[in-house]
Amino acid sequence: MKMKSKETKVHITSSDDSLGENKPHYSKVTKVHVTGGEVGGGGGEAGSVEWANVMNKPQTYPPSEHNHDDRYSTKEDVQGIINYVTEQMEQEQGKVRTFSDDEPDFLKNKVDAVTVGVRGSEVFVKSIDGLNLGVADLNTALEGTEGNIQTQIDDVNDLLASVTAGMRFIGKLESFAELNGIGNKSNGDLAVVLTDETRDDTRSMYVYSEDRGMWEFIGAFTFSDEFTALKDSPSDYQDGKYLRSTSNRIVYDDVDYQTLKNKPESSITAIDDAVTKRHEHGNKDSLDGIGENTNGILTYKGEEYVRKSDIQSIVQVDKGYLEVTRSGSAQSFSAANTIVMYNSEKYSRGIAYDTSTGYFTLKAGKVYNVRAVFYLTSVDTYGSFSVRRVADNAAVSPIVYVFGGNFSTHSAASGNLDTIIIPEEDGDYCVITRTSSSFRIYPQDRNSLIIQEI
């Protein structure tokens, strides 16, 4: 049982009359050290308690002076800070996706597998082709290092240019020892060591320097035999892509029309338009009508055609023409179907006229303008005229009526028969009267027949 010590008041009864009377009173006792078989030792008189036996004592003694003013956060302030920090951490954790080796598909869904890929549970760069990162950007990133990227590249280039001047490739050797065993070597000789024991059995490239009398290490030779034999081709072929060389590398890319050699001079648009129209013939019906006859003459829908230059060599046939008149005595008419007689021929070309019968000959299919002029006299009568075919007395022109006058008083009448005739067949034709009235045609110049082929 632990010892307890505390300040208490003790009730004391005394017969000492110094208090004024004998009565009970209380006396303050500083410490009471309780001992007993059941309680256990370790106590003592006031002022003699061991420091180790004091319970609930401060960590330092005496305590440093301090107070609890507004410089200290309250419990509520501390809890608010904790809540804020916790909220921020949760938000940040929500932005970061952690993963393990058993879930690599998460990253595969986040990369394009072209510039960035996934190997196991790690992301790695596959290609930097097309990234807009230049030498200036690299130099800025490496600022503070010795030299810069461009300087180092230039130095390596200069070294290679000087060391490899006039070099010749002497082949591949299995080990560096075999390389050193070559006796006939010249400055600039180039060789590849397939298993370089001096460089962890890697594949290395060396060039021989006569000035230094030794083989100079150029660098690791990373191209494999399979690539040299064109066996290390892309694992994922795509339709339309092909391997081609550029000024500084080999690329696996699409076929571009502009890079083709010996391509047509026509543009792509012109070629596409020509292909679209290759079977379009808006004038197909007209083209189908063009042909050639057995004599080798061009025809169109069966009709022969000649060139324009050939037309000039064709002899032009003069058009037929005829003009005849009535002279001498007048001709009298008293019965229908009497042929008008013209007994004086003035002009004739291609059209025959018979002065004894009054017949003139016309050709089928040709076009004729027939004009007959009459000058007749009679009192209160008229004459009718038309052009008739002699063979069957068929009318081939309208009937023209001419009314007569009184000749004794110098009163007369005149009229014209003016018509277009297209004969249906070759034959003789004539001008004939259609009435039985009595009248006369006087022999004057106006009594004439004019026929013009048109």
Q: Does residue 267 sit in the same domain as residue 377?
A: no
169 part of a folded domain: yes
CATH number, position 405: 2.60.120.40
Q: Does residue 448 sit in the same domain as residue 344?
A: yes
Please tell me the predicted confidence (pLDDT) of residue 232.
47
299 part of a folded domain: no
In Å, how far are 4, 15, 17 from 11, measured between CA atoms?
20, 14, 17
Q: Give the chain's radius of gyration (CA, Å).
A: 69
Beta-sheet pairing, 368-377 with 448-453? antiparallel
Q: Does residue 346 sit in the same domain as residue 256?
A: no
132 part of a folded domain: no
22, 42, 62 — which closes off a domain?
62
To the nearest whole number, what is the mean pLDDT of the chain? 75
Q: Does residue 351 sit in the same domain as residue 425?
A: yes
82 part of a folded domain: no
- Give 40-99 pLDDT, tens digit per residue: 445 555 566 787 777 777 776 666 666 666 666 666 766 777 777 777 676 655 554 554
Q: Does residue 360 sit in the same domain as residue 422?
A: yes
Q: Which residues contact 363 (CB under 8 A, 6 or more apart)?
A: 320, 423, 426
Q: Could you give the CA distance from residue 138 to residue 156 in angstroms, rounded to a whole number?
A: 17
151 part of a folded domain: no
- Give 369-381 pLDDT, tens digit per residue: 999 988 777 656 7
Amino acid at 393: N
Instruction: Tell me the pTM.
Output: 0.33
Residue 231 sits in which domain range? 164-274
Q: Does residue 230 sit in the same domain as residue 173?
A: yes
285 part of a folded domain: no
241, 274, 307 — which closes off a domain?
274
58 part of a folded domain: yes
Q: Does residue 220 sit in the same domain as residue 329?
A: no
Give how many domains the chain has, as a whole number: 3
Beta-sheet pairing, 189-196 with 168-173? parallel
Q: Does residue 213 sit in the same domain as residue 270?
A: yes
62, 79, 110 — which closes off a domain?
62
Per-residue confidence at 228, pLDDT binned at 50, 70, 90? Answer: very low
